[in-house]
Structure 1
Amino acid sequence: MQISLVGYMAAGKSTITKHLASQLESPSWDLDDEIAKIGGEDVADILRSKGEIAFRKLERETLLETLQLNGVLATGGGTPCYYDNMDVLLKESYVVYLQWPMKTLIERARSARESRPLFDGVSDEDLPEYIAKHVFDRRPYYERANHIVFCDGKSVDDITKEIIEKWKSQSQHT
């Protein structure tokens, strides 16, 4: 794998991955899509039917397989936070954290909450606090990335260009 994107749910990892791969003329991989292929159902259904522990095991196996491929990878929001996944990501790829202001993450998550099983049972009123705590818990993993993109106010093109510049600069020094 060349580049892996990490960040909270609804941070735009899948969108940026596709655009970045296109710019690099490289394949793109979405870990959730790969998990769905192996698991036989989409990630939301796997989480709801089998539970988070079973999902995280499948996610780990799929991550290890997918990292052997060449291209750009969109990880799941929790992927870097389980097992030694962040260590593996850093060893096998250039890792970029897509960081957004909390307000933006809450707005995006709210509009996509039906497809986010981790929000099941969380009231709309409690969602901001839930997301803030989640991001707080996950941030130490995300911040280990090779590069952090502060995405607020940037277009997909701007974010992609920044990642390519930093990645090329990094790869020239290794």
Structure 2
Amino acid sequence: MTWTIAGTLTVLPAAEHPELLAEPVAKAITDLDATRIGVAEIDPELADTAAFCEHYGSSLSASANCVVVLGKRGGEERLAACLVLATTRADVNGVLRKLLDVRKASFAPMDRAVEQSGMAYGGITPVGLPADWPLYIDAAVAAAPELVIGSGIRGSKLFVPGDLLAALPTAQVVDGLAR
């Protein structure tokens, strides 16, 4: 697959480069159409979206960020992930709070998100998340022909089409998830 959003990066088939992926991501890719997933090695210091896009010439509007959200209700905690375009923000206290059916929702503490996802902070991605986590994907992400997302580590990025992400086992496409 040719990736028009890769900027100066060389994109390789992700299934052939598990060393560039967090373990849960490498495992999850085996269950997906691997011909539609690319990976590119990057400088880990440039993993944050804005720095990545600026340095490698990739469009911010073609990048999506995955955030882990923690909601609480009646002493019960609920973790979920959401994926929104980098040019938007997830509506955590509106849409996500209602989807999780919790009184309060906020970004999960970094150490908990890292420990429970098995991925590095700044590299958490929807591919390979725990099977019991709901994954909420903004409709604009699902409709994107190609996106740059995390790979589970800070030293690479995945290149994927939005419809592949929308088809992940726990994914639910949500209109208005992002503002």
Query: Which is richer in helix?
Result: 1
Q: Normalized against structure 1, the TM-score is what?
A: 0.32
Structure with larger RCO (C-alpha < 8 A, sep 6+): 1
Query: Which is richer in strand?
Result: 2
Q: Normalized against structure 2, the TM-score is what?
A: 0.32
